[in-house]
Amino acid sequence: MSRISERFDPSSLPLEKRYHPENPSTQWGHIQSPYPTNAWWENLVLNSTKETITPYPYHVRAGLNEISICYPTREVHDTYIFSPFHEDWILTLEGIEKSGVIYHDELSVAVDYVGKEGRNLRAWFVKGTPYQSFYVTKGSPILKTIHAIIEVFPFPDNKRILIHLNNGQYWCIFTEVPVHWEHNMNQLYTTSSFNGYLRLAYVPPQIETNFQVLSDYSTCIPIGGHVTYEMLQEDIKIQFEFLTFGEGRLLMLTLPHHKDILVNPRFVNMSGFTCIKGAMMAIEGTSWSVREPQIKIGWFSDRPIDQEYLEIIGNSLMKDVESNTSSLAIDPYFFGKGVAKIARLALIAEQIGRLELLEKILDNLKRALVPWFTGKNQNPLVYDLTWKGIISRNGINDRGADFGNGWYNDHHYHYGYFIYACAVIGRYEKSWLNEYRIPILALLKDYANPVSGDPMFPKFRHKDMYDGHSWASGLFEFADARNQESTSEAVNAYYAVYLLGLAWHDPELQGAGQFLLTSEIRSSRFYWQMGDSTNIYDRKFRVNKCVGILWGCKVDYATWFGNLPEYIHCIQFLPFTPITRALLLPSWLVEEREILNLILSRKSPMVEAKWVAYILMALGIIDKKMATKKMLEVKEFDDGNTMTNSWYWLSTC
């Protein structure tokens, strides 16, 4: 049996068990734990429930008795692009109140609004649908807009209308049964109640053509979807299957990163839909198949070590092994970075033939990790019985502590480092992995559980199957929806899953790591790395070359910890491991070079030495000679890096 499929009872986990101080709101409706704490639709169920969710191409706010729908515009600035929320339409039925989420899956979430006398409104929010779809029971819908309604174009069947607003937009409404609509300056309302679906859609320019396409596909409604993956010899086959209601053919929209990997797509001639991630393409079908090439990087670089640097790597290794025996940080993130950098030393020692150092490195690793796995460290891990996950004691006591760990923020960053270190130990001592398998599996499953129906952890806590990348944010509510900052640390987290699969000789675990890893890398390249050839972001913003934080409806050239350019760029580089080469494309780094050189030459404020090493490691991919020359001057390294790793990296560039 695969290790990842193993189930265990919380009582077997040698950690404290506690109930969380933040109870799930009533807006969770019928959903039971384990709760998805980083879903793209998390704002639906947090605190005020008034903030935005992003079922692309739309932005939606699902209030307590009404649903606001926006087809977003873009405000482009030097350091950010923002899609403000404007209430293009507000949908309600008299007397309804939100009863909460009734269903969710990898691609969708459904919410019910219930009123008296059997009156009901069900809303399906599905990633990639060009319509916003609802089911009305015994209701007379009211649609209000902040714009003025210039003209309404009805059709003889009374199942569709086209609306022209004074902001220049056209929208259409489709209903399952004939409905007569009345309107005034900014409101549409029905003259009688009905039962059946109601679909609202923005109509992009080329109104007549696009309205006809939307009409042709209006009777098939996506109400959910599942994503599966299968490991082939060289590729990963990923299957998107949409659940539907109604008859006819399904019309959906793809994101830019989907285009090159779709297998035999049935694209539809309808253009004009966009979102913060760029132009969306129309596609027909309830099933999509994509193929991702498997990434072939394992424990070591796929390039040989340049023998010229063996001496400096060996000397650095001796010093780093001696200096990394002290106690590490007490919070999960900085502890994780520290223990993972020690683990890198073990692999480098093996590759350069310094096997006499391995025992000491492994002892240091085990001495650091075991207290975390037995609840005996200074800031013990806790199994949360409310939301179902692993959080720190400091985090559960203070939502601002440990980077929000107790409120489920950034777990893939934090625990990815732990799992990397465990995988390295397991490469040499599989018995140690087996001895601590339950706490190791608990950390792994907390952020990367591929198993549906696990009673202790949600499936793929951070991963957005449609967008391809992960979200952070946890149980924190944000006006701009979910966000993610460091793509490289997300990639590191999933690389660690793959390596643990190698250490455990577990093909299923390796497959989960490959699936998470390859999709994260593809989306990171598309949506964070901005070369001149990309048309996803506007030129005014694109000159920055790198996104710092990507949100559901915004992109920032910034980080959570400051706006210096070295922060923004390096947080998309670190940590440097063999998988980094698959993430950082040389063509992008050529375009990054001018900005990175300006950072290195800046006089005020001077760049901190710990960032210099990361910049040189990135530049080493395209200019090894320059990078190695300047690396000789670097004497200080980040808490997640070492001199040994820096020189090993450059020697394999």
What's the sign of the alpha-carbon dihedral 423, 424, 430, 432? Answer: negative
pTM of the full structure? 0.97
pLDDT tens-digit readout, 282-306 = 999 999 999 999 998 999 999 999 9
Cα–Cα distance, 279 to 265 (Å, whole number): 17
Give residue 532's identity as a one-letter amino acid code.
D
pLDDT at residue 191 in the model? 85
Cα–Cα distance, 158 to 413 (Å, whole number): 53
**pLDDT band per the 50, 70, 90 thresholds, residue 326:** low
On the question of pLDDT at 455 being above 80, the answer is: yes
Name the average pLDDT for the chain.
Answer: 96
pLDDT tens-digit readout, 476-516 = 999 999 999 999 999 999 999 999 999 999 999 999 999 99
Give the β-pairing of 160-165 and 89-92: unpaired
Chain centre distance of CA 300 = 26
Give the three-class secondary structure for 296. coil
Helix (H) or strand (E) holding 111: strand 108-114
Give the three-class secondary structure for 527. helix
- Alpha-carbon distances of 236 from 131, 302, 488, rounded to whole Å: 30, 20, 21
pLDDT tens-digit readout, 395-454 = 999 999 999 999 999 999 999 999 999 999 999 999 999 999 999 999 999 999 999 999
Residue 202, both tokens:
């923005």
9 exposed, middle or buried (CB, 10 Å; 0-12, 13-18, 19+)?
exposed
pLDDT at residue 327 in the model? 65
**pLDDT band per the 50, 70, 90 thresholds, residue 521:** very high
**pLDDT band per the 50, 70, 90 thresholds, residue 30:** confident
